Amino acid sequence: MLQRGLAKNILVLVALLAALSGCICSTPQHPEVLQASHLADEPSSASLERFAGFLRIPTVSSREAPDHTRNPETFTKAHEYLESNFQDVWKQLDVEKVAEHSLLITWPGTNSTLDPVLFISHQDVVPADDVDLWSVPPFSGLIKDGFVWGRGAIDTKFSLTAMLEAVTTLLASNFKPERTLLFGFGHDEEVGGEKGAGSIARLLASRGVQLDMVNDEGGMLSVDGLKPLTHTPVALIGTAEKGFQSLRVTVKGTGGHSSRPPLDASTVADRMARVILAVDAQPPPTRLVAPTTSLLKALAPKAPRAFRWILSHCDNPLVAPSLAKYMAAKSAEFSGVVRTTVAPTVLQAGSADNVMPQEGSIIFNFRPMPDETANYTKEFLEGHLGRDKAHAAIEYVGEYGLPSNVSAAQGAHWDIMHEAASTTLSDQDIVVAPYLLTGSTDSKHYASIVKGGIYRFSPLQLSMKAGDTRRIHGLDERVTVNSYLKAVTFYEKLIKLSGSLSQ
Ligand SMILES: *[C@@H]1O[C@H](CO)[C@@H](O)[C@H](O)[C@H]1NC(C)=O
Ligand SMILES: *[C@@H]1O[C@H](CO)[C@@H](O)[C@H](O)[C@H]1NC(C)=O
Ligand SMILES: *[C@@H]1O[C@H](CO)[C@@H](O)[C@H](O)[C@H]1NC(C)=O
Ligand SMILES: [Zn+2]
């Protein structure tokens, strides 16, 4: 049995490698997922207008300002705007300002013994200072050509107004949640979230609140699938996120007059270059662990035939190493989910064109895997210093953002995410799969008061083909009208299911 299993593994690996080098790259066209919009429909166009209006308020966060806002007045304006456009929410629910610019909304449940479910969004956006490079002004909030345009359309003002639309509809239908529902809208997620989400989390902790479940922005509905593994649309539910850690390597070298460079490649620049090249040549090892193994298994039934067996056996020790290596080589996105990544980000040395500096430094930013040990990053760099070891020092820069826990991809919490996504986002068959976020979200601030799971999902249709990933924090950020309206129905469904979540 064992022998036959082994032979099958090898055969499939050979088939996989053959497939990868040829046929799978020619992708069959699949039917367009986007549906015709219903702009003529009165309630939807009013809801689109409320979303677009929110995009016109430039609530840019800033690391430099003590309160993390570029202009505090824009947040005051945002609060006034939300209050006058979602009057029922402000009248019927408890709305608190936290740390002046953040919002916490409480919808009390009928059974106060049940722990609340928290929905997270954020009011702030990254700057859009390349105004001239946009097709429309970034804060114009235009509804045009079937899209709603503007900075924050994807990340993540859409979720804030879509949640409020859903709450408004549910209030009007006299829905009463059994479980208390909380909505936390921070104001500085884009610069770490410490003032906004951090303050809300501390306030909840001081009140002794334990959260049952958290829903935050995160993965999206990839309408193109995940090529080459599947062409079926995939809703990527972030059940974990990677960590964040920066370290600075400072090197000392032969400095002095640049007319007499040393013969032994001992300048600061030589040493810096060697360290960077060593890291490039030998990056952290690849491995397949949860939740990526769960993602691949969920994709298996919708994968091309050549992949099916391999994906459904991706945690088999004979398959995992080759598959991880394949994914690491395939794209930066896949590479990010199968290894701790490391990138040189800030390089400093030298101040005059005729002087070799005495000292220089490189900051390496790491994104550790969920199961990475805390001291791995430093040990990794120490192991790459080679002949420059005696001339280098390594220190931590900033806080270590620990990788998150991995939330369950089964059970009651997962089931409601699955149900909400599969019934509202597409008229077609989609895959709903767990996913490892390579970036980080506001949910990390609540991690210590969550008993159940954290699920990071932005219910938007994202098309790789249309270059949508580049629009996030980039130019021409926009969402389709249809996708926004579906997001509203997603939140209606999820809020309803959360309100009656038993356990
Ligand atoms: C509230 O929930 C708890 C836990 O599920 C349950 O035991 C209790 O009967 C519920 N109370 C009411 C009034 O529904
Ligand atoms: C890991 O690093 C910390 C300091 O960052 C240190 O206190 C601890 O002893 C180290 N643990 C191991 C196992 O080396
Ligand atoms: C993991 O879960 C435990 C228990 O809920 C919690 O105390 C801890 O803060 C979590 N860790 C992270 C990194 O989120
Ligand atoms: Zn965001």
Answer yes or no: are the C-beta atoms of 344 and 360 closer than 8 Å.
no
d(CA 371, CA 120): 25
Residue in the block written with tokens 């039934």? 301
pLDDT tens track for 16-63: 443 333 333 333 333 333 333 444 456 789 999 999 999 999 999 999
Give pLDDT, residue 21.
36
Residues of the chain with CATH 3.30.70.360: 240-401
Coil/strand/helix, residue 319: coil
CATH architecture of 240-401: 2-Layer Sandwich (3.30)
Asked if 302 and 230 count as a contact pair (C-beta separation under 8 A), the reply is yes
Query: Which of 39, 22, 170, 269 lies closest to 183, judged by CA?
Result: 170
- Structure-token match 């995939």, residue found: 234
| Ligand 1 atom at shortest distance from the alpha carbon of 111 | 1
CA-to-CA distance for 106 and 355, rounded, in angstroms?
Answer: 62
The fraction of the chain above a pLDDT of 70, given in percent, is 91
3-state SS class at 445: helix
Question: Which one of the ligands is nearest to 111 CA?
Answer: 1
Quickly list DSSP for 129-157. --GGGSSS-TTS--EETTEEESTTTTTTH
Q: Whose CA is nearest to atom 1 of ligand 1?
A: 111
Q: Is 249 exposed, middle or buried (0-12, 13-18, 19+ CB in 10 A)?
A: buried
pLDDT for 6 beyond 50: no
| Six token digits for residue 141 | 């909030």
Tell me how many degrees the CA angle 230-232-237 measures, rounded to the nearest 5.
Answer: 90
Atom of ligand 3 nearest to the CA of 402: 13
Which atom of ligand 3 is the closest one to the Cα of 444?
14
Cis peptide before 291 (omega within 30 of 0): yes
pLDDT recorded at residue 9:
44
Q: Which residues contact 381 (CB under 8 A, 6 or more apart)?
A: 247, 249, 275, 279, 364, 394
Q: What is the pLDDT of residue 497?
A: 98
Query: 0.75 exceeded by the pTM?
Result: yes
Give me the amino acid identity at 120: I
pLDDT for the residue 503? 60
CATH 3.40.630.10-classified regions of the chain: 41-228+404-499
pLDDT in tens, 411-432: 999 999 999 999 999 988 999 9
- Cα Rg of the chain (Å, integer): 25
Q: How far is the CA of 412 from the centre of ligand 1 (A)?
A: 17
Nearest-CA residue for ligand 1 atom 10 is: 111
Mean pLDDT of the region 434-448: 95
Question: Cβ < 6 Å from ligand 2: which residues?
Answer: 374-375
What is the tens place of the pLDDT at every residue in 392-416? 999 999 988 999 999 999 999 999 9
Ligand 3 contacts CB of residue 265 (under 6 A):
no
Q: Which ligand neighbours the alpha carbon of 447 most closely? A: 3
Sign of the CA dihedral with 58 first, then 64, 65, and 66 last: positive
Give the separation between CA 187 and CA 72, rounded to whole angstroms: 10
CA of 500 relative to ligand 1 center, distance in Å: 11
Ligand 3 centroid to 404 CA: how many Å? 7
Give the burial string for 475-503 (b: 16+ CB within 10 Å, else e): ebbbbbbbbbbbbbbbbbbbbbbbbebee
Q: Check residue 42 and give its pLDDT.
A: 64
CA 405 / ligand 3 centre spacing (Å)? 6
Judge whether 117 and 184 are in contact, CB under 8 Å. Answer: no
The reply to whether ligand 1 has any atom less than 6 angstroms from the CB of 113 is: yes
Q: Is the dihedral of CA 409, 410, 413, 419 positive or negative?
A: positive
Instruction: Return the best residue to mutate from 112, 113, 180, 501 for the ligand 1 pocket (most ligand atoms within 8 A of CB).
Output: 113
pLDDT (0 to 100) of residue 44: 83
| Average pLDDT, rounded, for the chain | 91
Using CA atoms, how far apart are residues 502 and 499, in angstroms rounded to an integer?
Answer: 9
Residues 6+ apart with CB under 8 A from 167: 86, 89, 93, 105, 107, 183, 495
Ligand showing the shortest atom-to-Cα distance for residue 375: 2
Does residue 467 surpass a pLDDT of 90? Answer: no
Amino acid 464: pLDDT: 85
The residue whose two tokens read 């009463």 is 176
CATH topology of domain 41-228+404-499: Aminopeptidase (3.40.630)
Quote the Cα angle for 331-337-343, to 5°.
75
- Determine the average pLDDT of the residues in 150-165: 97
What distance in angstroms lies between residue 174's CA and the mean position of ligand 1's atoms? 21
From the alpha carbon of 502, which atom of ligand 1 is closest?
Answer: 5
Among candidates 63, 81, 61, 86, which has minimal Cα distance to 71? Answer: 61
For the CA of 216, the nearest ligand? 4
162-202 pLDDT tens trace: 999 999 999 999 999 999 999 999 999 999 999 999 999 99
* Ligand with smallest separation from the Cα of 179: 1
Q: Could you tell me if 260 and 330 are in contact, meaning their C-beta atoms sit under 8 angstroms apart?
A: no
Calpha distance 392→378 (Å, rounded): 13
For residue 241, give the amino acid letter.
E
Summarised one tens digit per residue, pLDDT across range 250-295 is 999 999 999 999 999 999 999 999 999 999 999 999 999 999 999 9
Percent of the chain with pLDDT over 90: 87
Average pLDDT value for residue range 127-156: 96
Q: Which residues surround ligand 4, an ion (CB under 5 A)?
A: 155-156
Token pair for residue 433? 């799969």
Let me know: does 470 contact 489? Beta carbons within 8 Å. Answer: no
Q: Report how far residue 3's alpha carbon sits from residue 1's, in angstroms, rounded to the nearest whole number.
A: 5
How many Å apart are CA 304 and CA 301, to the nearest integer? 9
449 CB within 6 A, ligand 3: no
